[in-house]
Structure 1
């Protein structure tokens, strides 16, 4: 802009041109907003008010007063602990924002780089919003224990139709600038700042129109009720942010903007006193961000060419994710026809994206061109990395590994995608076991964010860093574990499913087990999970274990008997449920050979057993060296196997229950099976009332 009057402040840059247009943003050399959100935003708005009060000023262009990616939950948690009234601070801020619009001078905001969470909220107060083409836009913290605050929920519920506003606010999705334009979140998308300023100035010099923030979408009760019903059915009811957001949405059609802002600020401020908020933010925001950054901490070259062995569901999913990340992929199967079939998985996924206008035809063509299907291992020549993703059969994996290893680059690495087979054993076929590692992806790969990286005894540091780098390129959240029977996620999930079968054999009604699991916060019950994965696959996990204790052997024999009886799961039409192919409905099956007992579970014993059994075995994983870090366990348990999100994960669950109470509960279950054996070190920690976390930080410093 042409400078006429410039005010240089410590944190805020203000510039006015000869046409009376003011531009405001943070000083390029200013300190990060960091732990001063309220103060900096308040200061920013006060200076905006000062500028707009000038007679010669016709309008305002601004970038957010919060730096990209600058959200620190500790600020609000500390304020809550110090009994600082966050709601009152928000009320004062909202009052200043409303004064801005009462001045009837147009305001334009520019959404650049990473416009998310509080940064995005501050940009929604403008009358007109322009996004740079490379901007990423959304509220990712909606999936981590918060709902969009700082006025964002109220504003969007008033500015957009409910079918657009509600899912965007609730689901935590990140949009491109083009998607935000289609949604109506922004009014324009441009290539760069120069174009943004030109368009903004053009808008500001027009006659003033009613502000977008004051326009209200006519109430649409039926649509709102329908969306709310669907979300409530999927919600566990155990996450405070969800419940408060649902109340806000339900009240929206009957309230004006100012009333909504009052309700929103009280609800959002109240979240910081909830233990569930701390648990979720710690694991799903802080720990996940640290895990995602782990891949970039040490220098390692990116993967340019990736070979994938096996074009089944897993291999095809990994191929799609790699191609989407810009990696050249060679997808091999037994022949080119089978490999081509695997590539069609990427075609189906991109067809949906094309239909949703999330990509264009050229982007689809380029993505698909990066996947080369083949039946010839020689096409792996000069691969930076090869991932084996064939069936869970050790002999098969050994054969395809030996066939492909000669085509790796001299410094290339080999990874096995396996659920439970020991990496140390699989690595024996390689002449360079130091360059062999496990990478356990989760299905469906395009929707599951986690990858469990399994380090063998001989895996070297460079190989680990390359595996982490690939996870980073794919946009996955990595956890690093050591080798051991079924590793970490499969092992504790196995124990969860096993405990459900154990309780079934004790005579607890199947329907009650499923109901209690859902009430504990699991998305679906363990018996339904067993039917989905198939009982045969469950036995394959059993077979990977070095030995079984009596309770496991009993369950093994029972599952075998069900398979013999034709009850292998959903695909066979019968398992723990009966399935009707015509109607698509299912009904719980009660095994007539098991005498059911009447149960009055007022003490929540079923829920405790399902939650505690995974947490207890997670501690054993620490003792055995399978886990090095409790944060990896909490991330993996939630993102990998659906441990209830409100708990923050297995070790956060122990903290929330209280370690003494947890150990006493496990001791009370001791007669029910060997899975309830309590390690001596855990007893010692309970005696000292140890906590695995202090606020957002881990207390685990290798206490074993």
Structure 2
């Protein structure tokens, strides 16, 4: 094993026997890479997986890459190495998660060994090395760059850099947990790894992940210049001396946020704070052991399954319909939802006409949009140029203008059927016969609205969730007469703006609210029976919900929640009995956070819970009672065909409500725990 594991004692120690065959087997011509050695002695390795828009690491690509490194090691012409990608929007997307999902734990362990060994070989290559990053560079895609001397990136909007492994229930184990804290320091490394967040190129440079940001067409010139200079000396981060203290602080923060429900994040804190010291080999051993432990946890499998459900929904096309490419849209209403939708569309390159009844209303809407853009710019989520471009794509009017050239209208007015009918009736006279009329209602009947206009087949529901710029889900509500082309266009459009579409049938509450309301109303009944607000919320936080039901009601607004509850009580009186508790609070002016008083009291940015009492039910009994209601209603929606399948229901609840991802969704939870018949 000398060629691969040279001077790497811990990797040499009892490696999986399969690696010997992988490394020393007969080399095959690379199918996924090109190697070019120019007249200056620079070796250019270009990752270019055939017939695919993405590059990923798997056993085959790792073997090929290892073979090319061996060629470079022994070729005396080579003085430097540049690693790049031929893909338009992806550098390397990371490990082949689809392959990993089907592997037995022992095979996953072997793949971890292989990746570590190959990337370590790259790190030990005694020649200047540059990773020229253009496009998505995630997970194992970023870990390979950490073995290079320089990491440079294009300023293109597709360039995103990070280590999202903890979001899949594992951690960076191809050297990422070991090398990153040595490069940028323990504190920043922990923040990136435990959050799993992806950074654009400018944010990545500020964090120290890369050294230069240039236009894509200048990457090659910069790479050539760098490898002809002196290799950078490693910088020792003084803060790493205090890694144990930093680790304890990070662990407390993680426990406060996750209540210990995500073992991969806690394990990442442990590995990073220990792997930063001593030989690299020690850190790699810690990474391997951690992954071997985590992949035995069922939570990781559920998180990986959810990843694929979301990927599939984000790419799935509608069969039988043709999607019309949309570059313009009109948003009716400049309130919180209308402004949020207009901002989201414009930030994704769509030209938006936002309308409302008065200039004052439009001014307030534009003020909200300016605030969203300013916040995103301040947090380095977008550049100032991108923010300015977003604002430039939005125009406004309070007068009725012809809309015959506008192929998508999204109505986002108040939740009032008569008002919406009036708006749709007016729109029908100003649009063409092929215009799609969409409503952003959260509970009102799409059928009733559609049948109030001449072409009901072109009416659809697009239910965005608040806040629009953060919530990834859009429910697309269809009718039996919905045109296949309209549905295909709506799905394609939602995917284009970076949201995840879930197609559902028109039914009271649609999908997410239909499942959520019984849970929320049962929480209200528990509170009315004497269970304190804080105990109910704490119980569901311990279950894994991002927010307790009482606090969620305050955030939604008790008036909005009461309206949705009445809609469902009318539709399903046997299972959604009327409760006047919310109505009484609304009548008393207690609307939740927006009025300063709901189930909590809000003063100077702080929430104050009512006093607690003795002899309270255990949190486990509250969890069981409320979680059961969610799963039961989800199962009813599945049996009624409200959504396409169980996967879509689970995905919608995770993305739309924050249902604990590690539990897989309410139907997966019911199946795995046996709380109801599946």
Q: Is TM > 0.5 for Structure 1 vs Structure 2?
A: yes
Matched residues, number: 643
Question: What secondary structure sits across from 1:662 in the alignment?
Answer: coil
Is the aligned partner of 1:179 residue 2:203? yes
Q: 2:169 aligns with which of 145, 149, 155?
A: 145
How far off is 1:279 after superposition?
Answer: 1.0
Is the aligned partner of 1:15 residue 2:36? yes
What's the counterpart of residue 608 of structure 1? Answer: 624
Q: In 2, Cα distance between the equivalents of 1:376 and 1:562?
A: 38
What's the counterpart of residue 521 of structure 1? Answer: 544
Check conservation: 1:64, 1:119, Cα contact below 8 A. Answer: no
Map residues 252-271 of structure 1 onto 2, 5 A cutoff: 257-271=280-294
What's the counterpart of residue 110 of structure 1? Answer: 132
Q: 2:670 aligns with which of 649, 654, 668?
A: 654
Check conservation: 2:654, 2:660, Cα contact below 8 A. Answer: yes
- CA deviation profile, 1:261-320 (whole Å, cap 9, x unmatched): 22122213433222111111112x101111111248764222222111111100000000
What's the counterpart of residue 681 of structure 1? Answer: none
- CA deviation profile, 1:134-156 (whole Å, cap 9, x unmatched): 33333445434343332223222
Is the aligned partner of 1:90 residue 2:112? yes
Q: 1:155 aligns with which of 167, 170, 179?
A: 179
Q: In 2, Cα distance between the equivalents of 1:292 and 1:438?
A: 18
Is the aligned partner of 1:438 residue 2:454? no
Q: In 2, Cα distance between the equivalents of 1:67 and 1:40?
A: 14
What's the counterpart of residue 559 of structure 2? Answer: 536
- CA deviation profile, 1:166-199 (whole Å, cap 9, x unmatched): 3333333333333323332122233346x33332
Question: What secondary structure sits across from 1:378 in the alignment?
Answer: coil
Is the aligned partner of 1:426 residue 2:455? no
Q: In 2, Cα distance between the equivalents of 1:399 and 1:33?
A: 47
Question: What secondary structure sits across from 1:238 in the alignment?
Answer: coil
Check conservation: 1:80, 1:272, Cα contact below 8 A. Answer: no
Q: Structure 1 stretch 216-225 or stretch 409-418: which is displaced more?
A: 216-225
Q: In 2, Cα distance between the equivalents of 1:349 and 1:246?
A: 32
- CA deviation profile, 1:37-56 (whole Å, cap 9, x unmatched): 13432441343144224444
Map residues 46-85 of structure 1 onto 2, 5 A cutoff: 46-63=67-84, 68-69=92-93, 71-80=95-104, 83-84=106-107
Question: What secondary structure sits across from 1:529 in the alignment?
Answer: helix
Question: What secondary structure sits across from 1:230 in the alignment?
Answer: helix
How far off is 1:355 after superposition?
Answer: 3.2
Question: What secondary structure sits across from 2:534 in the alignment?
Answer: helix
- CA deviation profile, 1:527-569 (whole Å, cap 9, x unmatched): 1112222322222012212345477436x12333344455442
Q: What's the C-alpha RMSD, in Å, of the aligned pairs? A: 3.0
Which segments of 5 or more consecutive residues in structure 1 lack a partner in the other structure?
1-6, 591-595, 664-685, 691-704
Question: What secondary structure sits across from 1:314 in the alignment?
Answer: helix
Q: In 2, Cα distance between the equivalents of 1:576 and 1:31?
A: 52
Q: In 2, Cα distance between the equivalents of 1:205 and 1:171?
A: 36
Map residues 485-634 of structure 1 onto 2, 5 A cutoff: 485-545=508-568, 546-547=570-571, 549=573, 552-553=576-577, 556-579=579-602, 581-582=603-604, 584-589=606-611, 598-599=615-616, 601=618, 604-634=620-650
Which segments of 5 or more consecutive residues in structure 2 lack a partner in the other structure?
1-27
What's the counterpart of residue 41 of structure 1? Answer: 62
Map residues 183-202 of structure 1 onto 2, 5 A cutoff: 183-192=207-216, 195-202=218-225
Q: In 1, Cα distance between the equivalents of 2:649 and 2:605?
A: 40
Q: In 2, Cα distance between the equivalents of 1:35 and 1:562?
A: 54
Q: Structure 1 stretch 483-492 or stretch 105-114: which is displaced more?
A: 105-114
Question: What secondary structure sits across from 2:334 in the alignment?
Answer: coil
Is the aligned partner of 1:120 residue 2:142? yes
What's the counterpart of residue 672 of structure 1? Answer: none
Q: In 2, Cα distance between the equivalents of 1:36 and 1:569?
A: 49
How far off is 1:57 after superposition?
Answer: 2.8
What's the counterpart of residue 699 of structure 1? Answer: none
Q: In 2, Cα distance between the equivalents of 1:50 and 1:462?
A: 53
Q: In 2, Cα distance between the equivalents of 1:439 and 1:31?
A: 31
- CA deviation profile, 1:200-253 (whole Å, cap 9, x unmatched): 2322222444357x8886445566555554333222422232222232344356
Map residues 362-441 of structure 1 onto 2, 5 A cutoff: 362-378=385-401, 380-441=403-464
Check conservation: 1:300, 1:465, Cα contact below 8 A. Answer: yes
How far off is 1:422 after superposition?
Answer: 1.1
How far off is 1:465 after superposition?
Answer: 1.4
- CA deviation profile, 1:570-605 (whole Å, cap 9, x unmatched): 3333332233x2473412356xxxxx7834538x33
Check conservation: 1:106, 1:211, Cα contact below 8 A. Answer: no
Structure 2 vs 1, CA of residues 129 and 471 (structure 1 numbering), >3 Å: closer, same or farther? same
Structure 2 vs 1, CA of residues 532 and 31 (structure 1 numbering), >3 Å: closer, same or farther? closer
Map residues 308-319 of structure 1 onto 2, 5 A cutoff: 308-319=331-342
Structure 2 vs 1, CA of residues 276 and 382 (structure 1 numbering), >3 Å: closer, same or farther? same
What's the counterpart of residue 6 of structure 2? Answer: none
Map residues 255-294 of structure 1 onto 2, 5 A cutoff: 257-283=280-306, 285-294=307-316
Q: Structure 1 stretch 261-270 or stretch 58-67: which is displaced more?
A: 58-67
Structure 2 vs 1, CA of residues 232 and 42 (structure 1 numbering), >3 Å: closer, same or farther? farther
Q: 1:238 aligns with which of 247, 257, 261?
A: 261
How far off is 1:357 after superposition?
Answer: 4.6
Q: In 2, Cα distance between the equivalents of 1:169 and 1:575?
A: 37
Structure 2 vs 1, CA of residues 551 and 490 (structure 1 numbering), >3 Å: closer, same or farther? closer
Q: Return the TM-score normalized by structure 1.
A: 0.84
Q: Structure 1 stretch 63-72 or stretch 223-232: which is displaced more?
A: 63-72
Check conservation: 1:577, 1:588, Cα contact below 8 A. Answer: yes
Structure 2 vs 1, CA of residues 146 and 332 (structure 1 numbering), >3 Å: closer, same or farther? farther
Question: What secondary structure sits across from 1:104 in the alignment?
Answer: coil
What's the counterpart of residue 342 of structure 1? Answer: 365
Q: In 1, Cα distance between the equivalents of 2:147 and 2:388?
A: 38
Check conservation: 2:138, 2:160, Cα contact below 8 A. Answer: yes
Check conservation: 2:81, 2:129, Cα contact below 8 A. Answer: yes
How far off is 1:132 after superposition?
Answer: 2.9
Map residues 458-469 of structure 1 onto 2, 5 A cutoff: 458-469=481-492
